Amino acid sequence: MTGFASLPPVAAAGPAHDELEVLQDIHGVLAGERFALLTGAGLSTDSGIPDYRGPGAAPRAPMTYQEFVAEPENRQRYWARNHIGWSELRRADPNEGHAAAARLEHRGLLTGLITQNVDRLHEDAGSINVVDLHGRFDQVVCLACHRRYSRGLLAGVLEELNPGFLERALAAGVVEMAPDADATVEDGGLIKGFVVAHCPACGGTLKPDFVYFGENVPKDRVERCYAMVDRAGALLVAGSSLTVMSGLRFVRHAAKQGKPVVIINRGQTRGDQLATIKLHAGVSGALTWLAAELPPL
């Protein structure tokens, strides 16, 4: 298996001629404006993290919150898979697109950055005013007492409870990784014997500190995002299919206010009909070009 850490770096190639024309149009829309930036899984693919819905992505049925809390067997299966996924996802590094987003912020061009990703690569790249819309993969939360713990600390606990599990699982074959640190494995009885950790303070159920399918994004988090869009002269979407309402709502909000909406994504999105400009292109290269060409405010 090829881990994230062993993937070759992605070269920052210049845009093709047609892409450059559209980028110049985007430049004309965004120049002189502070804008909000909404990013999705398509931005992290250049860091070796697969996305859910991009071109070539394998169909997946992620575990819902309702499934997670319903049965101990579901939590066992989830944590066994997450333990494998975490061991790989934690090695991912920010790519040129994350660096470009940080430069846009540092030059005063952003009212804020909203990311649907849980990988924390924006923060690793130096972005500061970030709303992790769907939460963060590097923390876990107790559903009973609501204490939060480091996912790295939990990894050590799971290793002690399940010695040799990772080695056996990787030898069995990881067939798919996911952006939420989930992994599909050839079971072979491995998962049935996995021991799940509980909250050290109260013995409650631990859950990754991100929003599952079937959960709602916390209201205060959504309000922070709306405020970023309200302060902006435009909204730039980068690497999101906008399939889920949690991100699409901000596109609709900006469009309702009459603000330009720019979408950069490989493939169609649910927000295309609301876009002022849509660019079918790789996100990292486009953001790198914009970060270099847009004048600071």
What residues contact 156, with CB distance under 8 A and at least 6 apart? Answer: none
Is 27 considered catalytic here? no
SS3 201: coil
SS3 35: strand
Cα separation, 82 vs 263, in Å, equals: 31
- 93, 284, 33, 104: CA torsion to nearest 10: 30
> Pick the catalytic residue: 83, 98, 122, 134?
134
- Alpha-carbon Rg for the chain, nearest whole angstrom, is 20
Contact yes or no for 232/111 (Cβ under 8 A): yes
| Tokens (6 digits) for 148 | 């939060």
What does DSSP assign to residue 191? G
Cα separation, 216 vs 218, in Å, equals: 6
Catalytic residue set:
134
